[in-house]
Amino acid sequence: MRGKRWIPAAALGHDGPVSGTGRSAQPTLIGARVRLRPWRADDAADVLAACQDSEIQRWTQVPVPYAPEHAQDFVGSIAPRTWAEGGALFAVEPLDGSALVGSIGLFPPRDGVGEAGYWTAPAHRGRGLTAAALGMLAGWALDRVHRVELLVDPANTGSRRVAEAAGFIAEGTIRQRFLHRGRPGDVVLYARLAADGAG
């Protein structure tokens, strides 16, 4: 996941009973192919296994090497804190509740523009499940923000296909925009507005 900028929790609205953080409980989103749900402590083993993948380590900001404590911190601390601070991190799973598909999240910055990020476990790549999840996330988010963005490395063709399948439009390449593991690099800026319709 790339972004770490937040807007106030109230800006995303309330989806249910208000939690102790002053924000509603994080919802579960159910689509035709996948379910997006809050992370649970018992997901740590699946996260640990997925994040050993060289492609996830290449394109995302996960720690390298990825250790059990990183997975435990992600599901037990980072995910709930992200929700409390105004963002949302979801586990992506098939509707039958079988093996974890991946992770998807929204990091909403100032001015009603949210930034999304995702990774997909190797066994689920090429099946369209992450594109379905991204479309769901964008639809949910665009009831709360007016624009959802993605920053994708130009060479990350898999992630670019996911973005385009979910209805995101490439708006151009931004040079030296993102610092990845200490090295600045170019990104393709993708965005989706409510007016763009579903992917």
- CATH code of 22's domain: 3.40.630.30
136 found inside a domain: yes
pTM greater than the 0.85 cutoff: yes
User: 191 forms bridges with which residues in the sheet?
Assistant: 149, 169
What was the pLDDT predicted at 126? 94
**Rounded-to-integer distance, Cα 112 and Cα 187, Å:** 21
95 found inside a domain: yes
pLDDT, tens digit only, all 199 positions of the chain: 343 332 333 334 444 443 444 568 999 999 999 999 999 999 999 999 999 999 999 999 999 999 999 999 999 999 999 999 889 999 999 998 789 999 999 986 568 999 999 999 999 999 999 999 999 999 999 998 999 999 999 999 999 999 999 999 999 999 999 888 888 999 999 999 988 876 6
The number of domains in the chain is: 1
52 found inside a domain: yes
